[in-house]
């Protein structure tokens, strides 16, 4: 178990108050609601769980583990390689813009913190096109959060943002939102186990349905979330 300070740092990483603009994206969920693919509590729960257990569990979270290790050992080539791989998995303009915007925002924050080594802060500040998982791993290292705890926070923050998007864009109330989060707990636990054990050769990130929905959202006439 992390000590009190480390736990507080972990909660900071998972908090919606982290100023990276996550609240402004729905990762295609708004379009899925618009198209009727997500129309009730069951389909919304399935969407959120599937996102966590899909590419997040099988690529983003394992990549975060590897990025955390690279930041820890001052492996700039490893950081750059995994950052490029993360960026290459973004299947739409919208998803690419999201990870780059959130990554740049978090990288600036890490560089400005008086936590972590000056060398780490400088390396984060000078990294070209940091993706969100890359900056998140650096933030975890700066705050003294280990890799697997950081994965839990990363997955939970993503799930919580999807729940918030569902409540804003769909016909769901606050009690339904809490049930979504309860379902997300199991998905996050399972995804964390996958991230801890998956080999490089078994990583995958393709999510055609999500990519198509995200691409449709880019041209949606009326929307609450960024494209």
The CATH number fitting domain 35-200, selected from 3.40.50.300, 2.60.40.1120, 3.30.310.50, 1.10.4190.10: 1.10.4190.10
What are the sequence ranges of the domains in the chain? 35-200
Half-sphere exposure (CA, 13 Å, Cβ side) for 82? 26
Q: What is the pLDDT of residues 134-172, one digit of tens each?
A: 999 999 999 999 999 999 999 999 999 999 999 999 999
Helix (H, G, I), strand (E, B) or coil at 80: helix
pTM of the predicted model as reported, rounded to 2 decimal places: 0.95
Q: What is the pLDDT of residues 49-64, one digit of tens each?
A: 999 999 999 999 999 9
């Amino acid at each position: 178990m992390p000590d009190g300070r480390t736990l507080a740092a972990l909660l900071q990483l998972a908090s919606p108050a982290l100023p990276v603009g996550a609240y402004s994206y729905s990762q295609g969920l708004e379009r899925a609601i618009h198209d009727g693919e997500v129309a009730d509590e069951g389909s919304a729960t399935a969407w959120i769980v599937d996102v966590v257990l899909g590419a997040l569990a099988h690529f983003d979270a394992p990549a975060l583990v590897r990025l955390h290790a690279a930041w820890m050992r001052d492996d700039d080539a490893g950081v750059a390689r995994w950052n490029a791989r993360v960026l290459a998995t973004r299947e739409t303009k919208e998803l690419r813009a999201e990870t780059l915007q959130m990554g740049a925002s978090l990288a600036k924050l890490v560089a400005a913190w008086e936590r972590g080594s000056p060398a780490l802060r400088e390396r984060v500040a000078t990294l070209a096109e940091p993706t969100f998982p890359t900056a998140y791993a650096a933030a975890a290292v700066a705050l003294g959060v280990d890799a697997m705890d950081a994965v839990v926070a990363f997955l939970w923050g993503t799930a919580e943002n999807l729940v918030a998007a569902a409540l804003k864009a769909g016909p769901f109330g606050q009690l339904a939102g809490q049930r979504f989060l309860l379902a997300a707990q199991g998905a996050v636990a399972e995804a964390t186990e996958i991230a801890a054990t998956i080999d490089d050769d078994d990583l995958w990130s393709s999510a055609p349905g999500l990519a198509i929905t995200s691409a449709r959202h880019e041209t949606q006439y009326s929307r609450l979330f960024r494209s």
